[in-house]
Amino acid sequence: MSLVNDSPLCNGCLLLLLIVLLVASCKQRSASEFVSVKGPLIALTRVRVIDGAGSSAKDDQTIIIDSGRITAIGPASEVAVPASATTLDLSGHTALPGLVGMHNHLFYSTDGGARDVLATDSFALLYLAAGVTTIRTAGTLNLGRDIATKKSIDDGVSAGPKIHLSSPYVEHAAGQRFDPEKITDQINEWADQGVTSLKIYEHVTRAEFGVVIDAAHKRGLKVTGHVCAVGFTVAAQAGIDNLEHGLAVDTEFFSRKKVDECPTGNEWVPELTRVDVRSEPVQKMIQELVRRRVAVTSTLAIFESFLADKFQLDPRMREVLSEDAYNDCVAEIEEGKADPRWSRIWEVMLKKEMQFEREFVNAGGLLMTGVDPTGWGGVVAGFGDQRGVELLVAAGFTPEEAIRIATLNGATFLGNADRIGTLAAGKQADVVIVRGNPAANIADIRNVTVVFKDGVGYDSAKLIESVRGLVGE
């Protein structure tokens, strides 16, 4: 029997596929068109530096980039600028490391959260435009598309951040169970495809945690989770590496929690607002996470979007969202204002989450950041990452501490701190240039002009303009 189908129908399908691929390739923007600074030798002079290690900002610095790496960084009076270097006078600007987004999907939720749409190409461009030079997808709706996007960026065809691939959501319907052999085979298949982390979702039970984590760790994958059927303490004891979102999703403090069942949010979130973060149970949970070296990903920007009666859309979203998606966001906010009861609950919960994140860091925990562009559509790639850093400062961290959380801490978790995460000699030249001084006014982190990734400078404004009206289509 032939394995080739020569029927007219099949030939028609092949033609249609070729047309689709051709259209897709025509829409794809070349990485080179966004490059504003390029050369084997680049000098960034008279620039303020926030190094990502938590140190205080330093004025009047020079950074030398040679063949994609930082070869020298220090006071302008001490670092010589080679005569052959392409030199940028960055007076009035600040250099900081490329952000490392650890909950950075390549899809977007719209229609009040009722519809998820793939945004692989547009989000890749937006992440880079906002200074996010490395992402972990932390769950995907279409692994094949994520793989293709990563390859296109790695090959230099299209622009975007370095992508660490995560699995599709490891999840099942409530009341169902995994087949251990099948889920192990699936994890092995994902690992073979280049996935480096696994994403566990809400209904996975404590018994299943062991199977999933064991299979993932055998393949060298790290496991993160948005858990619900189990609480943070149980997940940590099961060997999870990372927990998403923080206290705001931890159901273990719900008085009517049933074993291996995920309660609905309208049941346990109101009760969680009354939990004392400094109480012994919460502090014991924090200590358990720290002792077992379980990292937590801060996603404050998505939580802020639940404060509908106070939340304001980032004005830049008007440029990048489709008309329908933007109108959906406006309608969602108006609906929240009409009935602010749920918004009031999340106003308290956001403050609790901020307090939890401070307590976790003070206890020695590794806190990272990510945007999580889901919910009802109130945050998008890149812009939400920047807002997350601003909210860390609102939570009580210094700007330098917040930037460390958003850079070095993610790099450390990924095992890449020797290459990215800070500005230092020998590191890859992932450098974000912003107008102003985020150390004095963290909102200046939005004023990105040039984003260097591996020593190639991309024009932020051009990247944003290229996705005008495309997000949410």
134-153 confidence digits (pLDDT tens): 999 999 999 999 999 999 99
Domain-ending residue, one of 396, 414, 432: 414
Q: Of how many residues is the chain composed?
A: 473
Q: Are residues 192 and 66 in the same domain?
A: no
CATH of the domain at 80: 2.30.40.10
Q: Are residues 86 and 230 in the same domain?
A: no
CATH of the domain at 355: 3.20.20.140
Q: Are residues 183 and 256 in the same domain?
A: yes
Instruction: Indicate whether 38 belongs to any domain.
Output: yes
Q: Are residues 54 and 139 in the same domain?
A: no
Global model pTM greater than 0.75: yes
For residue 266, the model assigns a pLDDT of 87
Lowest-confidence segment of 138-147, 197-206, 263-272 by average pLDDT = 263-272
Instruction: Indicate whether 22 belongs to any domain.
Output: no
Reply yes or no on whether the pLDDT at 22 is more than 60. no
| pLDDT tens-digit readout, 223-261 | 999 999 999 999 999 999 999 999 999 999 999 999 999
Q: Are residues 362 and 453 in the same domain?
A: no
Q: Are residues 148 and 290 in the same domain?
A: yes
Q: Are residues 48 and 68 in the same domain?
A: yes
Instruction: Indicate whether 308 belongs to any domain.
Output: yes
Q: Are residues 244 and 201 in the same domain?
A: yes
Q: Where are the beta strands (DSSP E) in 57-114?
A: 58-66, 69-75, 86-89, 93-97, 99-101, 107-110
Report, as an integer, the average pLDDT of 186-207: 97
For residue 28, the model assigns a pLDDT of 66
Q: Are residues 173 and 282 in the same domain?
A: yes
Instruction: Indicate whether 155 belongs to any domain.
Output: yes
Domain-ending residue, one of 373, 397, 414: 414
Instruction: Indicate whether 7 belongs to any domain.
Output: no
Burial (CB count <10 Å: 0-12, 13-18, 19+), residue 383: buried
Tally the domains of the chain: 2
Instruction: Indicate whether 25 belongs to any domain.
Output: no
Instruction: Indicate whether 6 belongs to any domain.
Output: no
Q: Are residues 44 and 132 in the same domain?
A: no
Helix axes 399-406, 383-394, angle to 10 degrees: 140
Q: Look up residue 354 and give its two tokens.
A: 């901020």
- Domain range spanning residue 448? 33-97+423-465
Q: Look up residue 448 and give its two tokens.
A: 């990105």
Instruction: Indicate whether 223 belongs to any domain.
Output: yes
Question: In this structure, are residues 357 and 368 in contact, taking their beta carbons and an 8 Å threshold?
Answer: no
Q: Are residues 125 and 249 in the same domain?
A: yes
Q: Are residues 437 and 359 in the same domain?
A: no
